[in-house]
């Protein structure tokens, strides 16, 4: 069964450093998303991406965040200058018309 994969599974970084989180979507999916889950809190929507551009973004997704599909397959989330409060589990999701399938997540810890 096709799966969404994410790398790395864990990332530890220093405050102010840039991180790139990677996702390989399910191959015939056209819609891509990033969500995050801060420990003990709800899963929160960050951004959706369709047809090589951002469809929607939340208030969390400020100028420090960006997304792209650099090679038409991988879908990346970049955080330019990480803050302590960016520590969370980041989930990629990909979808067709009705459903969204989530990857296993990247646990990001900012020190």
Partner 1 sequence: GEDVEQSLFLSVREGDSSVINCTYTDSSSTYLYWYKQEPGAGLQLLTYIFSNMDMKQDQRLTVLLNKKDKHLSLRIADTQTGDSAIYFCAEREDGGSQGNLIFGKGTKLSVKP
CB 90 within 8 A of CB 21: yes
Return phi, psi of residue 29, to 5°. Answer: -85, 145
CA distance 75 to 23: 5
Binding mask 69-88 for partner 1 (x = CB under 8 A): --------------------
- The residue within the footprint of partner 1, chosen from 23, 77, 87, 95 (CB under 8 A), is 95
Q: Is 7 in the site for partner 1 (CB under 8 A)?
A: no
**Helix %, strand %, coil % for the chain, to 5?**
5, 50, 45
CB 2 within 8 A of CB 21: no
Q: Is 104 in the site for partner 1 (CB under 8 A)?
A: yes
Q: Is 99 in the site for partner 1 (CB under 8 A)?
A: yes
Q: Is 33 in the site for partner 1 (CB under 8 A)?
A: yes
Question: Which of these ranges, 12-20, 37-45, 64-72, 80-88, lies near partner 1 under the rule CB under 8 A?
Answer: 37-45
Using DSSP, state whether 80 is helix, strand or coil: coil
Q: Is 45 in the site for partner 1 (CB under 8 A)?
A: yes
- Interface residues with partner 1 (CB under 8 A) are 31, 33, 35, 41-45, 48, 50, 55-56, 58, 91, 93, 95, 97-105
């Amino acid at each position: 069964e096709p799966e969404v994969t994410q790398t790395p599974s864990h990332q530890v970084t220093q405050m102010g450093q840039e991180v790139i989180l990677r996702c390989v979507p399910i191959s015939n999916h056209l819609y891509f998303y990033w969500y995050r889950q801060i420990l003990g809190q709800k899963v929160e929507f960050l951004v959706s991406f369709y047809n090589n551009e951002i469809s929607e973004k939340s208030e969390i997704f400020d100028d420090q965040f960006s997304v792209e599909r650099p090679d038409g397959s991988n879908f990346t989330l970049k955080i330019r200058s990480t803050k302590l409060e960016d520590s969370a589990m980041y989930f990629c999701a990909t979808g067709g018309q009705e459903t969204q399938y989530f990857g296993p997540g990247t646990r990001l810890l900012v020190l």
